[in-house]
Amino acid sequence: MTEFAIEVGGLGTTVKVPDPHLADMLLKRYAAFLTDPNSHHSVLDLTILDKPIEEGIRLPTVTSKDSVLRISRWDTLAESIDNGRNWAVSLVSNEYTFDSFLRVFLTLRLLDEDGFLIHSSAQIRRDTAYIFTGKSEAGKTTISDLGTENLVLCDELPMVRRVDGSYRVYGTPFWGKFTKGTITDSGEVGALFFLNKAPYNRAAPLSLRSALPRLLQTTLFFSNHPAHIERLMRICVAFLEEIPSHDLYFRPEPEVWTAVDHAIGT
């Protein structure tokens, strides 16, 4: 049994892996995010399946029944009886399977941390972090490529949490086409931008009412449990009450940062 700990966005998770080959792959994949195991971490106790649970590919499902919290997919079955702190995880021996499970697991853990995972590019510009989100093909990779003067924390799935009275966004190992995957830095969030490709560069402020459904559409979340949905809603509303949001209409050119700077008053 190989035991190690992964820390993403300040949240530690101890992982117990019985398969040396899988353990080696995971240690390499999450090398920048490894930390010392301790009693404050959640624990994932892995069991390796000989074959997938069922054929085909489908999205993960999250259910809660009779005090059992369950995450399931065609290649994974995970259960927790202590509200998500300790998990028994059965899965096929594949680093991508584990990575997919880790994302879903963190969405549940973040419900108790005033946070969420969001499909976006998160960048630190002049000591403040900004989040650029949108649906598929909205321009997350493009805005990441254009951030040559910024620190790109993550171009696909950064983590947002409220810490010590302010919202911070963290780099995660969950990267897209920009493919760095080793940025563990974080920054205090200054603004949220919804990406819109256009023949011009302009930012327009949004009301909370307009921004909320769009933010919910870009957060990673799989649970249909009413308490989980209500909690996520409250987290997102609180975030938007504090963090200004904008529509960002942009061309794929460096001048987009002029529109960003103007929106945030710099």
Q: Are residues 160 and 36 in the same domain?
A: no
Helices 20-29 and 95-109: crossing angle in degrees, nearest 10, is: 60
Q: Are residues 127 and 27 in the same domain?
A: no
Please tell me the pTM assigned to this model: 0.93
Q: Are residues 133 and 92 in the same domain?
A: no
- Give the count of domains, the chain: 2
Boundaries of domain holding 194:
116-263
The model's confidence at residue 157, banded by pLDDT at 50, 70 and 90, is very high
Final residue in a domain of this structure, among 112, 146, 163: 112
pLDDT for position 178: 60
pLDDT digits (tens, 9 = 90+) for 106-142: 999 999 999 999 999 999 999 999 999 998 777 898 9
Final residue in a domain of this structure, among 112, 134, 166: 112
Q: Are residues 129 and 259 in the same domain?
A: yes
Final residue in a domain of this structure, among 89, 112, 135: 112
